[in-house]
Amino acid sequence: GRQLVIAVDGPSGSGKSTISRRVAQAIDARYLDTGAMYRAVTYAVLRDNVDLGDAVKIAAVAEGVELTIGTDPATPHISVDGIGVDREIRGAEVTSAVSAVSAVPAVRRLLVDRQRAIIAESERIVVEGRDIGTVVAPDADLKVYLTADAEERARRRSSENAASQAATAADLARRDRLDSTRAADPLRQADDAVVLDTTELGIDEVVERLRQMLDKVT
Ligand code: C5P
């Protein structure tokens, strides 16, 4: 049948990953976590002790690294130079450095090309990130922009890790600010995106609403 591309953008803690994976599983689609790709490059940058202010060296790491990106929504494994880094890329070190790495235009060019190639070879795919509806897949069949109150997003994230809610809230606010104000492909709502505030919605409710939107576009 016809190709189906669903773009899911929004800030951290908006529910993007959980929702995107659930929707992909429900409609038997692939799933691409573009944030994991920026995190994997950041892992390599830290591994190589590269200065976060050195865009030239960061770009060189991104070019030299071999990323393997799984697109199975049940087990989306990612590896860097043959080594699985699923756990490492969620750690505090990578999380605090990723916004600096993802702001480097050469890193974005490389990863956006790779993302487009993965999308091109998928019959159905749910792609989540910050710039999917605006830059990576502007022709997506459905664009969803998920949001939630800052406090609720921090609550969700701190229940996933050991950090306190206050520390998580501060980190989220910092990342949101960096991700929304950077020059290259900032976090932005596409004009034709459906905005869904998940503050008061359960996961099942959001998944159900997305499926209803999908019924209308397919
Ligand atoms: O979604 P997640 O929190 O894993 O993303 C980690 C970081 O990767 C974001 O804070 C952002 O800096 C970057 N990112 C990006 N563009 C995307 C996805 C993620 O710049 N499409």
**Which tens digits make up the pLDDT trace of 77-117?**
999 999 999 999 999 999 999 999 999 999 999 999 999 99
The DSSP letter of residue 189 is -
Residue 185 scores a pLDDT above 70: yes
What is the structure's pLDDT at 162?
67
CA distances from 116 to 5, 18, 19, 136, 166 (A): 11, 22, 21, 6, 37
User: pLDDT-based confidence at 165, cuts 50/70/90?
Assistant: confident
User: 189 C-alpha vs ligand 1 centroid, how far in Å?
Assistant: 14
* 25-29, 103-107, 133-137, 164-168, range with the lowest pLDDT: 164-168
* Ligand 1 geometric centre to CA of 3 (Å): 25
**Predicted ipTM beyond 0.95:** yes
Q: Which amino acid is at 108?
A: R
Would the CB of 157 count as within 6 Å of ligand 1? no
Residues in the chain: 218
The pLDDT, as a whole number, for residue 79 is: 98
Where helices occur in 66-143 by DSSP H, the ranges are 92-102, 105-120
What pLDDT is attached to residue 1? 72
The whole-angstrom separation of Cα 14 and Cα 101 is 22
What confidence score (pLDDT) does residue 126 get? 98
pTM of this structure: 0.96
Residue 180 pLDDT: 93
Instruction: Report which protein residue has its CA nearest ligand 1's atom 20.
Output: 102
Q: What's the whole-number mean pLDDT along residues 10-36?
A: 96
CB 101 within 8 A of CB 52: yes
Q: At 87, which amino acid appears?
A: R
Within 10 Å of residue 4's Cβ, how many Cβ atoms?
18
- Enumerate the β-bridge partners of residue 80: 67, 83
Nearest C-alpha to atom 19 of ligand 1 is from which residue? 35
